[in-house]
Structure 1
Amino acid sequence: MAAEALAPDAVRDRLRDLPGWSLTDGGITRTYKLTSHFAATAMVVHIAQLQEELGHHSQLTLGYNTVSLTVNTHDAGGAVTGKDIELARRVEATAAGHAAE
């Protein structure tokens, strides 16, 4: 069963609790800045683990000291769903442990 797309206003409402996340044409996005490349790499590994647990994956980009995510649901035509919001919440909850800003 495909996840149900959220209306843009509903997405924006849910993002109020997720500082730094924004709605774009491609989904919801966030870029974190970390203290080093090693710290950013560790956060990518942690995010990969969260994605496996949820069975939901993002576009995940590792920079020198940055980690960027774009999240949408492919089986909902690339729209944002509750699955995307949940992944964003889980990532946000782990970010502090990586000293990510």
Structure 2
Amino acid sequence: MAVEALSPKEIEERLGELPGWVVEGDRLTRSYRLGSHFAAAALVMHIAGIQDRLDHHSDLTLGYDTVSLSVHTHSAGGVVTGKDFALAREVEDVAPGHGAH
């Protein structure tokens, strides 16, 4: 099944459900700050598991006490799709458990 790009209106509506997430260029992005490097690394590992399960992977960056994600759907031509928002929703659901804000 082909994955379709979301319209600007659809993106705006979905962003309203995910505070902290923004679209930069052709990517859905978010950065989190955590209490320590260990907490940030643990969140990265949790996100890696989610991405493998969804078979949808972001660019994931680990800083000392930060984690940043940037994602779009390569199979749809590098645009933002529902797959990106599904990943973002799952990350948003687990991030507070790691102390992310």
- Structure-1-length-normalised TM-score: 0.97
Count of aligned pairs between the two proteins:
101
**C-alpha displacement of 1:71:** 1.1
Aligned residue in 2 for 1:70: 70
Distance in 1, matches of 2:33 and 2:61, equals 12
Deviations 1:21-70 (A, max 9, x none): 00111311000000011100000000000000101000000000000000
- Paired residues of 1:60 and 1:67 also in contact (CA < 8 A): yes
Q: Which runs of 4+ in 1 moved over 2 A?
A: none
What's the secondary structure of 1:46's corresponding residue? helix
Q: Secondary structure at the match of 2:93?
A: helix
CA contact 1:26–1:70 (8 Å) conserved in 2? no
Structure 1 counterpart of 2:96:
96
What SS does the corresponding residue of 2:2 show, helix, strand or coil?
coil
Find the counterpart in structure 2 of residue 39 from structure 1.
39
The answer for the alignment partner of 1:20 in structure 2 is 20
Asked whether the equivalents of residues 35 and 99 of structure 1 are also in contact (C-alpha less than 8 Å), the reply is: yes
**In structure 1, distance between residues paired with 2:28 and 2:77:** 14
Partner residue in 1 for 2:80 = 80
Give the structure-2-normalised TM-score.
0.97
Find the aligned partners of 1:84 and 1:75 in 2 and give their Cα distance.
12
| Uncovered stretches (5+) of structure 1, i.e. residues with no partner | none
**SS of 2:87's equivalent?**
helix
